[in-house]
Amino acid sequence: MFYLVKKIMTDKNIYLDNAATTFPKPEQVYMTLDSFARSGGANANRGNNPMARNAAKKIEETRAKVLHWLAAPGEAIVIFSPSATIALNQAILGTELTKGQAVYVSPFEHNSVLRSVEHLRLTQEIQVHEIPFHPISLEVDWDRLETAFRTEPPAMLAITQASNVCGLLLPVEQLALKARQVNPEVMIIVDGAQAAGLYPLNLSNGLIDYLIFSGHKSFYGPFGVAGLILCSSKRPNPILFGGTGTYSSKLSMPDEPPSAYEPGSLNSPAIAALGAALDWLKVTGRETLVTHAAKLTDYLEKELSRIPSVRVIKVPLEKRAAVISFTMQGVAPQALEEFLGTQGIAVRAGLHCSPWAHRFLDTQARGGTVRVSLGFFNAEEDIKQLLNVIESLLD
């Protein structure tokens, strides 16, 4: 039926896939990427020439900005990496576990967590347990979880701060507290790729050991930079090895972070641009960013719910990031994504690299969902255009 529908949009392309990467970026991010690559993009910590020193200085300034934006404790350390996926691998695979120990994950984890944990299951024979949630309320089933914790005490808790599929904000601190009550030495790893810096998360109370952030998502920075925040005294074993520009006579990695976990040349232009993004975030304000996206998300959910053939994955408003997933009767999610693309609207359909989430939400067999994720640079008119195209399919 799609070929019968005329294009009803303006020439403006509408981007509604901010969970994949926020777009557009603040103008100063683009400007910094260009100017730093042209005039300051030397190799940090490789030599003592002025350009190399300047690149190293910019990297350290950005580390400080990351810690400030996240309200991290003074002793916290930022480890830069090319992506949140690599940072999660460093955190999970760098944790020493023994045969039979229990690792707990939620049903909302990205494959960056699930595949890393699966590797440990296959190579170290750990036990992987899924945190129980109620399917309707999306609340943790605390009674069942406490029983599971007593039966199989957690050695690691690896959980996302926000689902990239449905936007559910998980009760990270409560889960961490329950795990520590059973095992004070449990490793707590939080995947903050979707939400870090935008939604409250206390890094100073000793509950969280490692927080992962993604520069190109909730930080509104460029691709090519992400990181691992060491929030406690725990340290992962290095899983990546190579030159750091320091202690070059040693064949082992440096002992101290961040050098211990940053082999290879850091992407200094991207890190500098991340610093510019953090400056923009500070001026714009966390509340402004979250409130704007929340209003658009609420509006979208209400309007989509009025369409009889649409099923919206419902998440309580107070527990939802700026993400809406839905299905449309008689239309495969991927087909709807493709059609919306012909109308100049960018969304994402499928399993979103989170198969357990779709299994839990009962959308896996249908090919997943269509996901709409809002950002600061979206407007209500974008939502109206999306709704117009979807409703035109019902004529």
d(CA 18, CA 377): 10
144 in Cβ contact with 130 (< 8 Å)? no
Helix 380-392 to helix 333-342 angle (10° resolution) is: 110
Q: Where in the chain is the domain with CATH 3.40.640.10?
A: 28-283
Each residue's pLDDT tens digit in the chain (395 positions)?
443 344 444 457 999 999 999 999 999 999 999 999 998 878 888 878 888 888 889 999 999 999 999 999 989 999 999 999 999 999 999 999 999 999 999 999 999 999 999 999 999 999 999 999 999 999 999 999 999 999 999 999 999 999 999 999 999 999 999 999 999 999 999 999 999 999 989 999 999 999 999 999 999 999 999 999 999 999 999 999 999 888 888 999 999 999 999 999 999 999 999 999 999 999 999 999 999 999 999 999 999 999 999 999 999 989 999 999 999 999 999 999 999 999 999 999 999 999 999 999 999 999 999 999 999 999 999 999 999 999 998 86
**Eight-state DSSP code of residue 322:** S
Q: What are phi and psi of 332, to 5 degrees?
A: -65, 140
pLDDT computed for residue 11 by the predictor = 57
The two three-digit tokens of residue 50, written as one number:
């002025």
The rounded distance, in Å, linking the Cα atoms of 373 and 376 is 11
User: Partners of 350 in the beta sheet?
Assistant: 369
Q: Which residue has the tokens 């005329």?
A: 6
CA distance 51 to 41: 7
Q: Where in the chain is the domain with CATH 3.90.1150.10?
A: 11-25+285-392
| In CATH, 11-25+285-392 is 3.90.1150.10 | yes
Q: Where do the DSSP E strands lie in 5-153?
A: 14-15, 77-81, 102-105, 127-130
Give 347-353's long-range contacts (Cβ < 8 A, gap of 24+): 347/16, 347/17, 347/371, 347/372, 347/386, 348/17, 348/19, 348/20, 348/373, 352/19, 352/164, 352/165, 353/110, 353/111, 353/112, 353/164
Strands 226-230 and 310-312: unpaired
Alpha carbon 369 to its chain's center: 19
How far apart CA 355 and CA 363 sit, in angstroms, is 9
Residue 50 contacts by C-beta under 8 Å, 6 or more apart in sequence? Answer: none
Alpha helices in 215-352 (DSSP H): 268-284, 286-305, 333-342
Cα 10 from Cα 379, distance rounded (Å): 15
To the question of domain 28-283 being in CATH 3.40.640.10, the answer is yes
pTM: 0.94
